[in-house]
Structure 1
């Protein structure tokens, strides 16, 4: 076991190295953030970022591409308590297996993307969450080339954009600044437990 003196000496070295790293990191920019993968927590993490931005009084917006009219905790919280700092737009009609109508799904995704572009272009909005857009992209409801070109060419310099959903396309991962892939280790659904308020929605 390390002595107190050895521990202190090790922590000094770590702090010195960290201080040097922090001095080298002076740049700022609006980030393109992707949360993907089969595990739970993609939207939850993104909404955590929205709440964090609101705490800094940064105007935000959310566009939900797949989830329909079902009440969720995050929508209820943001629209009830933070509507002055966060716009919330639910553009989807529900999961694709519920609508069973490709033309309707494409139209809803395009309407969501049109709203997303409007919000991203607004210089007053600092963070935009495009929730489950990766599903719309995976199903080719939206053109990945157009989405990437817009994010690279028209997103204001200091605006953050978060894109969530499984199976993020390689083109999106390539242009992103931050990509996190959620993995499944264990999930109650596999044990026959249904989605529950406060955990899944």
Structure 2
């Protein structure tokens, strides 16, 4: 049985007036936001959710029937849920390229890591140059930038010079370089407040991958 919440008439009137003022202010603000452009979006920080947020936007593109693409720079050897879903069900709208060979401490071969990162960036450039692709997710590229496998200045210069006007590019991974943060249109830093790994809980399907 639903609980009844009787609000006194005077309080209800004050609330309605307050909400009306907020709506009017919001409407005035939205009237000034009419432009559209392809965004450079960075998800960084030590907290969980950087890749998850990027893949959420890829799913939105698919829902709008907007061609998109994913280049994974680190987790190439992982059988992830997002990889299964996209390649099995949405290959006509979303290209998926797993270019990495696993985390750098797994390969233990810097030359291989650099080669994989550069191959991933070459594929990413081709995808970004294609104006029919509306969003390109560069998953964990910030790690490759942080380790020096790719040149941050070169990545920024390419985005500034060659990214089509309406293409969105999403770059994820902790430790995004300052030059990339300065260039981006949208930057979100994920902060870790609490993580089960510290309590001995391993990465689990459906949560981490």
TM-score category, normalised to shorter length: over 0.9
TM-superposed CA distance for 1:70, in Å, is: 1.7
Q: Cα RMSD (Å) of the superposition?
A: 0.9
* CA distance in structure 1 between the aligned counterparts of 2:25 and 2:63, rounded to whole angstroms: 30
Question: Where in structure 1 are there 5+ consecutive unaligned residues?
Answer: none
Among 12, 17, 36, which residue is 1:4 paired with? Answer: 12
* CA distance in structure 2 between the aligned counterparts of 1:129 and 1:173, rounded to whole angstroms: 16
Among 159, 170, 182, which residue is 2:190 paired with? Answer: 182
Match of 2:112 in 1: 104
Question: Where in structure 2 are there 5+ consecutive unaligned residues?
Answer: 1-6
Matches within 5 A, 1:45-124: 45-124=53-132
Q: How many residues align?
A: 201
1:22 equivalent in alignment to 2:30: yes
- In the TM superposition, structure 1's runs of 4+ consecutive aligned residues that sit over 6 Å from their partners are none
* CA distance in structure 1 between the aligned counterparts of 2:38 and 2:76, rounded to whole angstroms: 29
Q: Which deviations, in whole Å up to 9, do the C-alpha atoms of 1:29-70 show, x marking residues without a partner?
A: 000000000000000000000001110110000000011222
Secondary structure of 2:207's counterpart equals coil
Match of 1:165 in 2: 173
* CA distance in structure 2 between the aligned counterparts of 1:32 and 1:68, rounded to whole angstroms: 23
* CA distance in structure 1 between the aligned counterparts of 2:162 and 2:70, rounded to whole angstroms: 18
1:154 equivalent in alignment to 2:162: yes
* CA distance in structure 1 between the aligned counterparts of 2:26 and 2:90, rounded to whole angstroms: 36
**Which has more radius of gyration?**
2
Match of 2:49 in 1: 41
Q: Which deviations, in whole Å up to 9, do the C-alpha atoms of 1:135-189 show, x marking residues without a partner?
A: 0000000011110000111000000000000000000000000000000111000
Secondary structure of 2:133's counterpart equals coil
* CA distance in structure 1 between the aligned counterparts of 2:126 and 2:31, rounded to whole angstroms: 36
Secondary structure of 1:3's counterpart equals helix
Q: Which deviations, in whole Å up to 9, do the C-alpha atoms of 1:118-139 show, x marking residues without a partner?
A: 0000111000000000000000
Secondary structure of 2:70's counterpart equals strand
* CA distance in structure 1 between the aligned counterparts of 2:87 and 2:150, rounded to whole angstroms: 27
Among 123, 132, 135, which residue is 2:140 paired with? Answer: 132
TM-score (norm 2): 0.95
